[in-house]
Structure 1
Amino acid sequence: MQIVFHLGTHFSDEGRLLRALAANAGPLEAQGCIVPPPARYREPIRELLNALRGAPADATAQETLLDTITEHDDFARLILSHENFMGFPVQVVSPQGFHAQAGQRLQALCNLFPGAETEFFMALVNPATLMPAIVRFAQRKYSYDQIMAGQPPEDLRWAPVVREMLDAIGGRKLVLWCNEDTPLIWPEVLRRIALQPPEAAFDGDFAVLAAIMAPEGLERLKAYLASHPPKTPLQRRKIVSAFLDKYGLPDRIEVEVPLPGWTEELVELVTARYEADVAEIAALPGVEFLAP
């Protein structure tokens, strides 16, 4: 049995991955891949995690949880998605650092089905765009200083987080990509999480592009791909990139950073460190990195 946890990150795909998988639920189920509605598992998983307190679930607890999640008795792959698997948005930064509980949380998720073949999927997000999104989300209840928890912006680093995640999951698969690359690699992300071949038909291939591209440009892109089918994923990316350059909507691609003390120089520093972390993470043993 394969258990897949899609971890987000917060404010990355805005539920598009789940919607795309749900749109293909019938064909996936026929192959033994189950994508249950989030309402069936998010609260039961939270309750069981709280009850276990990090300990492995016994056979009875596992069976009870599976019966709650899905009515299917015979399946090969179960996909579960929740951006709060890694904690709530206001917990992303704490006095202990950036995603300081990542390892503990992933180890607890592994222990829900300790004998299963478990995989984790997550999009990395530049902290220079992640933190404005978190502040916008939480500003009614929390001040900027509370959200940052005393951490300097330049210290919000992904590489130590991913290393801790790898240590916690004990050789299980960790599949990562950059949210900034998602428009170019979205079809590969969908097929990888659902274990579908590159040539498989899949509803939702244009879900991300629809959010950042002018409608007329998207229709022209679809028509071009239909009349000039790309032979490889790389060829498709080049075509999509060209259409994005021409029809992309700047106000939906570019992210403003109106945060206290975040000067242009600081944003450049945070971004440079993020890019350095991504290069390091992509080369880590145990990480499967999806890149354009």
Structure 2
Amino acid sequence: MQVVLHTGAHMTDEGKLVANLIKNSEVLAQWGTHAPNPASYRNLIRKLLRDAAETSVGEDARDVVMNAVSPEQEPERLILSGPGFFGTPRMSAGGGRFYPSAEARLGYFHQMFPHDQLEFFFAIRNPASFLPAVFDAANFTAMAEFLRGTEPAEFCWSNLIHRLRDAYPNLPITIWCNEDTPLIWAEIMREMAGLDATVALDGEFALLGDIMTRPGMQRFEAYIASHSGMTEIQKRRVIAAFLDKFADDSAIEEELDVPGWTEQLVAHLTELYDEDLFAIQRIPGINLITP
């Protein structure tokens, strides 16, 4: 069985990805893929991970998970989604590293599913907005305390991906930028579900309504309806064109209010993020989904 682990990051799609996959359960089932409701397994897996850290992964861990998510029939491909798989928001950054427990947590999943093929799916986000978002969720009183004394510029996603690649050389890893998600939403869903690129899914443009004006979205939907058969590349060009004209600036712009952070620091972190993407592209065996 193929086991897809969608582990976040925190504060990216906010559960919308797995929710859209669940809406397409009938289509996924035709391809042997099952995306169970996260409510059926997140707390269970959290407990299994906690027990594994204290003792070890139980021999019956796989059976326990499968009975919870797919008691009747084992699928060919199982999607498990949870930003907490690598820890809480308090554990998302520290010592200059994103998700310091990621390697160990992923090791526990390998022990849970020792004879299955694991795949790793993960959205990254500009540290200039990611760090303030997880800081707010972590309930620290000061950013310096949250970052354990390290500077924001020390954090880069390529470090996390290098660590996982070094620890698990044969693990299929798929990465994308949260900022690009509205443009590549359909491709992310298909790749996660193991579907052919030609398979139609409900909710392919679900995120556009969050960042496009209502009149623009209505025109976009009418255009798509009247131009069936477009390739994925053509769809992205249409999306980009409509966003260029009808983007809701108030929804796209993020207000960052971190004591001590200047506009210059935010710009610097954004520049480092752009450079980090090139570093990620050079890591062997990484599937980076881009517009």
Shorter chain as denominator, the TM-score bin is: over 0.9
Matched residue, 1:260: 259
Following TM superposition, by how much is the alpha carbon of 1:199 offset from its aligned partner in structure 2, in angstroms?
1.8
- State the TM-score, normalizing by the size of structure 2: 0.93
Residue 153 of structure 1 pairs with residue 152 of structure 2: yes
Matched residue, 1:11: 11
Alignment partners' CA distance in 1, 2:184 and 2:163: 26
Alignment partners' CA distance in 2, 1:209 and 1:186: 9
Matched residue, 1:38: 38
Matched residue, 1:200: 199
Matched residue, 1:94: 94
- The code of the aligned residue for 1:7 comes to T
Q: What RMSD over aligned residues (CA atoms) do the two structures have, in Å?
A: 1.8
Unaligned ranges ≥5, structure 2? none
Deviations 1:167-216 (A, max 9, x none): 23331111001111111111100111011122211011121111111122
Deviations 1:119-141 (A, max 9, x none): 010111110010121233344x5
Matched residue, 2:224: 225
Matched residue, 1:180: 179
- Cα distance, 1:96–1:258 mapped onto 2, change above 3 Å: closer
**Identity between Structure 1 and Structure 2 (%):** 37
Alignment partners' CA distance in 1, 2:148 and 2:98: 10
Alignment partners' CA distance in 2, 1:237 and 1:228: 13
Answer yes or no: is the 8 Å Cα contact 2:172–2:285 preserved in 1: yes
Matched residue, 1:49: 49
SS of equivalent to 2:261: coil
SS of equivalent to 2:78: strand
- The code of the aligned residue for 2:133 comes to A
Alignment partners' CA distance in 1, 2:67 and 2:153: 45
- The code of the aligned residue for 2:239 comes to V
Deviations 1:58-104 (A, max 9, x none): 3x332222112222323101101001112111211224633222222
Alignment partners' CA distance in 2, 1:90 and 1:184: 30
Residue 117 of structure 1 pairs with residue 117 of structure 2: yes
Answer yes or no: is the 8 Å Cα contact 2:31–2:195 preserved in 1: no
Following TM superposition, by how much is the alpha carbon of 1:236 offset from its aligned partner in structure 2, in angstroms?
1.2
Answer yes or no: is the 8 Å Cα contact 2:10–2:83 preserved in 1: yes
Answer yes or no: is the 8 Å Cα contact 1:210–1:218 preserved in 2: yes
- The code of the aligned residue for 2:225 comes to A
Alignment partners' CA distance in 1, 2:169 and 2:243: 39
Matched residue, 1:20: 20
- The code of the aligned residue for 2:18 comes to L
SS of equivalent to 1:80: strand
- The code of the aligned residue for 1:253 comes to I
Deviations 1:117-162 (A, max 9, x none): 11010111110010121233344x5433322221101111111111
Alignment partners' CA distance in 2, 1:112 and 1:177: 26
Answer yes or no: is the 8 Å Cα contact 2:174–2:287 preserved in 1: yes
Unaligned ranges ≥5, structure 1? none
Following TM superposition, by how much is the alpha carbon of 1:19 offset from its aligned partner in structure 2, in angstroms?
1.1
- State the TM-score, normalizing by the size of structure 1: 0.93
SS of equivalent to 2:174: strand
Following TM superposition, by how much is the alpha carbon of 1:166 offset from its aligned partner in structure 2, in angstroms?
1.3
Alignment partners' CA distance in 1, 2:207 and 2:72: 30
Residue 279 of structure 1 pairs with residue 286 of structure 2: no
Alignment partners' CA distance in 1, 2:281 and 2:111: 26
Alignment partners' CA distance in 1, 2:189 and 2:80: 14
SS of equivalent to 1:111: helix
Alignment partners' CA distance in 2, 1:182 and 1:97: 24
Alignment partners' CA distance in 2, 1:230 and 1:221: 15
Matched residue, 1:239: 238
SS of equivalent to 2:80: strand
Alignment partners' CA distance in 2, 1:221 and 1:283: 36
> More displaced, 119-128 or 92-101?
92-101
Deviations 1:12-38 (A, max 9, x none): 101110110110112212332111111
Aligned length: 290
Answer yes or no: is the 8 Å Cα contact 1:32–1:74 preserved in 2: no
- The code of the aligned residue for 1:35 comes to A
Alignment partners' CA distance in 1, 2:229 and 2:259: 45
